[in-house]
């Protein structure tokens, strides 16, 4: 076994603190990664605080992992020692069901192995995430990260990037589309950058006026504040597509009314409480409401390659591991521009 150190939540109510554990020795198909950076996703907070239920403690969060290959198993063909690589929200899946065969491992029939707060495919060994100094992952779940993207700014692509890229592609967002991104946080700012790079005209709908300049710099064409009720009158029926990244409960029907006929709103944010959903905003203009979950491994690689080609990377604020609890508080207050990334090399 390989000794590892990280930060873990031990219960839903305690602050995260240092934690020692072990990684398995890499087997033939495994890659041992020396973690350099790990992004901090709002899902880490939801899970460390057990807001979605079913949390497995101790929990080492973190699923926006980038680092350098330290060792490879005998059968590893795709990676070599020294490569820059990433790991996102999954570390394995059954590989045989219909979804896995189609490269949609996130929808695996028997359950993907989440990077943390989950189990390996034996359904009993707990997984530990990227708030740690190393990780061992089968090569099929390791992504190649181009050296064109600064490694710290690449980390958030592994969740925030793919979670916004995948629905934009699935709903074929591109030139000629007017779209809105709701919530300018970690996911939202990647949604703006990616949709703009795909040629769409993007409006940011934010709860605060404070992020306007940033939104325009990130590639948005316009900006509207949702605490102003006039916004919902002025923008009624305007958008082909809305990507909703908000992490807290909010009134979905207000946003649905901003869609044109046959428009779609896709939820990626996962608030801990449900909102009621009246039928009228949907039926009146044949609008759709859908959800989307991260993206498969193949599409994650496609997104990373797209970002390298288009010069897209995340806006990050680097923190030391010991600042994680303070970072969580700031994220809950919406005080992050736009992703905290833990500099693991600063020490644990």
Q: Would you tell me which residues interact with ligand NAP (CB under 6 A)? A: 41-43, 46, 159-160, 163, 183-188, 206-208, 211, 245-248, 250, 268-270, 292-294, 331, 334, 336
Judge contact between 92 and 121, C-beta under 8 A.
yes
- Kindly write down the DSSP assignment for every residue of 86-106, as one continuous string: EE-SEEE--S-SHHHHTT-GG
**Min CB(73)–ligand NAP separation in Å:** 29
Binding partner of residue 117 among ligand NAP, Zn ion, none, CB under 5 to 8 Å per kind? none
* Interface pattern 157-186 for Zn ion (x via CB under 5 A): --x---------------------------
Other beta carbons within 10 angstroms of residue 192's beta carbon come to: 29
Whole-number Cα distances in Å, 339 to 15, 83, 154, 155, 283 = 20, 24, 11, 10, 37
Q: What SS3 class is residue 248?
A: coil
- Kindly write down the DSSP assignment for every residue of 242-261, as one continuous string: EEE---S---HHHHHTTEEE
- 288-312 b/e with 16+ CB inside 10 Å = b? ebeebebbbbebbbbbbebbbeeeb
- Which range touches Zn ion (CB under 5 A), out of 36-44, 209-217, 273-281, 309-317? 36-44
Taking the C-alpha atoms of residue 331 and residue 162, their distance in angstroms, rounded to an integer, is 20
- Which range touches Zn ion (CB under 5 A), out of 30-38, 103-111, 121-129, 201-209? 103-111
**Min CB(72)–ligand NAP separation in Å:** 29
Q: Which is nearer to ligand NAP, 41 or 60 (CB)?
A: 41
Which residue's beta carbon is nearest to the bound ligand NAP? 185
**Min CB(145)–ligand NAP separation in Å:** 19
Q: Considering the rule CB under 5 A, would residue 100 count as an interface residue with Zn ion?
A: yes
**Min CB(29)–ligand NAP separation in Å:** 26
Member of 2, 56, 97, 319 binding Zn ion (CB under 5 A): 97
Q: Considering the rule CB under 5 A, would residue 43 count as an interface residue with Zn ion?
A: yes
Residue among 270, 290, 63 nearest 167 (CA): 290
**Min CB(186)–ligand NAP separation in Å:** 4
């Amino acid at each position: 076994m390989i000794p590892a150190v990280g930060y873990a939540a031990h219960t839903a109510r305690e602050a995260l603190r240092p934690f020692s554990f072990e990684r398995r020795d890499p087997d033939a198909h495994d890659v041992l990664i020396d973690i350099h950076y790990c992004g901090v996703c709002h899902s880490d907070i939801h899970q460390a605080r057990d807001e979605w239920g079913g949390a497995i403690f101790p929990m080492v969060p973190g699923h926006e992992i980038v680092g350098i290959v330290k060792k490879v198993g005998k059968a590893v063909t795709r990676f070599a020692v020294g490569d820059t690589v990433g790991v996102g929200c999954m570390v394995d899946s059954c590989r045989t069901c219909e979804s896995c065969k189609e490269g949609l491992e996130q929808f695996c029939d028997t359950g993907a192995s989440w990077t943390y707060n989950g189990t390996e495919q034996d359904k009993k060994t707990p997984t530990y995430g990227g708030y740690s100094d190393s990780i061992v992952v089968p090569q099929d779940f390791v992504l190649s990260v181009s050296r064109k993207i600064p490694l710290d700014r690449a980390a958030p692509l592994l969740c925030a990037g793919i979670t916004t890229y995948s629905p934009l592609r699935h709903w074929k967002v591109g030139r000629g589309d007017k779209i809105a991104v709701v919530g300018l946080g970690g996911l939202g700012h990647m949604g703006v950058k990616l949709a703009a790079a795909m040629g769409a005209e993007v409006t940011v709908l934010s709860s605060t006026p404070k992020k306007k300049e940033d939104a325009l710099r990130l590639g948005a064409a316009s900006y509207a504040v949702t605490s102003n009720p006039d916004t919902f009158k002025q923008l009624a029926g305007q958008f082909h597509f809305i990507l909703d990244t908000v992490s807290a409960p909010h009134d979905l029907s207000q946003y649905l009314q901003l869609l044109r006929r046959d428009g779609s709103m896709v939820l990626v944010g996962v608030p801990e409480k449900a909102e009621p959903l009246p039928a009228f905003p949907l039926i009146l203009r044949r609008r759709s409401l859908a959800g989307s979950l991260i993206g498969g491994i193949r599409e994650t690689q496609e997104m990373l390659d797209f970002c390298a080609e288009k010069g897209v990377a995340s806006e990050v604020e680097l923190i030391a591991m010991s600042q994680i609890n303070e970072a969580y508080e700031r994220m809950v207050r919406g005080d992050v521009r736009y992703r905290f990334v833990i500099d693991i090399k600063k020490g644990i």
